[in-house]
């Protein structure tokens, strides 16, 4: 089974990104993966297969008819740095029947349909899980697999009418840098689709807007035996900073749907120097400014209480909600909806409590909604995907190409 073999081959290669690295891409394994993929795409017959100096890979499926706008399919090759990606061992469950799945690398970890109810929707599917000691990398190698499968199918069936299709495999998306060296001029398309979503039938038309705050605290270190009146403990001030942040609202633990949050996710340091990283997320971009002001107000209070300390709050812009950009070319969503309906699937226009490369590209002028690709429990030991959902994604991409051709020539 080509889809199963291809996904497991891609997933078994560690392409984890690294937020602390100074290089781009942040890990050399991403470029190495795309170099292997470049060779594969050339052998299959894709054209204009190009790996640039940033590790980004692009390729082309030539048009079989004229007068059709160029569309692009995108996936990122890096996996999340949140969970180990060393020695990934995909576990295959054929003809899944709703049972609890034990993860063999750590039998204490189990995929229980009562805890993970999406498993109940894939009875009869071939599932691929982790072994419980790593993530799987379905985010975004499920989408990557579907893209290559769909592109290869079109190359083998030139009788199918479609416009030019551009493929793009980006790097460092998981650390918010996927479009740092990627822009519409590089992709050369009129509209694009990222394949970075969950279960079949979803079209993500909104993402969070996102910023990141770095709180830096400089204290004064002395020998603790002589600390009275001299020591200023940056660790204690940092702990106090986090303690003064909202606890019952504006947290990932207490928010869902359209509610935003502030999320401290990294706390490192010493008595002399402590650094806290906090992500700011909301569907309304203006709210990010309010969240930044809240953090600054906490810092102001702590500066007054700790006059010998230096406390800085720096905000880094990340990505923005794609909603406004998609409204500029409604065809991107309209044709995806029509394609999905042609396959007998009623689409759900959904919001994604995160971001994709499509967020940045849409803001730069390339409308790029996000489509389902069979990702479940991403960034965790409990990650899994479905072969059938990846194949449904492949079929959706082919249907989208068909709709763009038909509507453009009508």
So which residues are the catalytic ones?
78, 173
Please tell me the number of Cα atoms within 13 Å of 1 on its side-chain side: 14
Please answer whether residues 282 and 260 qualify as being in contact, where contact means their C-beta atoms are separated by less than 8 angstroms: yes
User: Which residues fall within 8 angstroms of residue 13, CB to CB, at 6 or more apart?
Assistant: 29, 33, 36, 88
Number of Cβ within a 10 Å radius of residue 28: 12
170 burial (CB, 10 Å; 0-12 / 13-18 / 19+) is buried
- Token pair 């633990």: residue: 253
Distance of alpha carbon 39 from its chain centroid, rounded?
25
ω into 219 cis (within 30 of 0):
no
Q: Look up residue 121 and give its DSSP letter.
A: G
Cα 296 to Cα 254: distance, rounded to the nearest angstrom: 22
**Nearest by Cα to 274 from 231, 233, 235, 230:** 235
């Amino acid at each position: 089974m080509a889809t199963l073999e291809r996904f497991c081959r891609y997933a078994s290669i560690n392409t984890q990104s690294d937020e602390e690295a100074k290089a781009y891409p942040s890990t050399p394994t991403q470029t190495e993966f795309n170099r292997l993929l470049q060779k594969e795409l050339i052998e299959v017959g894709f054209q204009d297969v190009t790996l640039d100096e940033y590790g980004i890979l692009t390729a082309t499926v030539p048009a079989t008819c004229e007068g059709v706008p160029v569309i692009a399919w995108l996936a990122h090759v890096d996996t999340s740095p949140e969970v180990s990606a060393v020695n990934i061992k995909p576990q295959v469950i054929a003809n899944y029947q709703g049972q609890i799945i034990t993860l063999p690398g750590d039998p204490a970890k189990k995929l229980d349909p009562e805890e993970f109810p999406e498993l109940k929707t894939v009875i009869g599917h071939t599932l691929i899980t982790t072994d419980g000691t790593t993530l799987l990398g379905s985010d975004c190698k499920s989408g990557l697999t579907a893209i290559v499968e769909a592109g290869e199918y079109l190359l083998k069936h030139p009788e199918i009418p479609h416009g030019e299709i551009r493929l793009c495999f980006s790097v460092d998306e998981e650390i918010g840098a996927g479009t740092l060296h990627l822009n519409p001029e590089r992709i050369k398309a009129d509209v694009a689709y990222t394949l970075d979503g969950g279960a079949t039938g979803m079209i993500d038309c909104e993402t969070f807007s996102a910023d990141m705050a770095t709180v830096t605290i400089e204290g004064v270190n002395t020998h603790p035996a002589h600390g009275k009146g001299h020591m200023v403990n940056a660790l204690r001030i940092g702990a106090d900073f986090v303690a003064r942040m909202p606890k019952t609202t504006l947290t990932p633990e207490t928010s869902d749907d359209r509610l935003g949050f502030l999320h401290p996710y990294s706390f490192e340091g010493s008595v002399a120097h402590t650094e806290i990283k906090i992500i700011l997320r909301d569907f309304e971009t203006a709210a990010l400014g309010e969240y930044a002001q809240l953090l600054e107000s906490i810092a102001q209070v702590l500066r007054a209480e700790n006059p010998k300390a230096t406390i800085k709050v720096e905000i880094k812009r990340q990505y923005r909600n794609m909603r406004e950009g998609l409204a500029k070319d409604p065809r991107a969503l309209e044709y995806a909806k029509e394609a999905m309906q042609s396959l007998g699937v009623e689409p759900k226009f959904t919001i994604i409590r995160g971001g994709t490369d499509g967020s940045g590209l849409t803001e730069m002028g390339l409308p790029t909604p996000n489509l389902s690709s069979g990702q479940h429990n991403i960034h965790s030991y409990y990650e899994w995907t479905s072969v059938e959902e990846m194949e449904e994604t492949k079929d959706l991409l082919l249907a989208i190409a068909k709709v763009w051709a038909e509507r453009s020539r009508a």
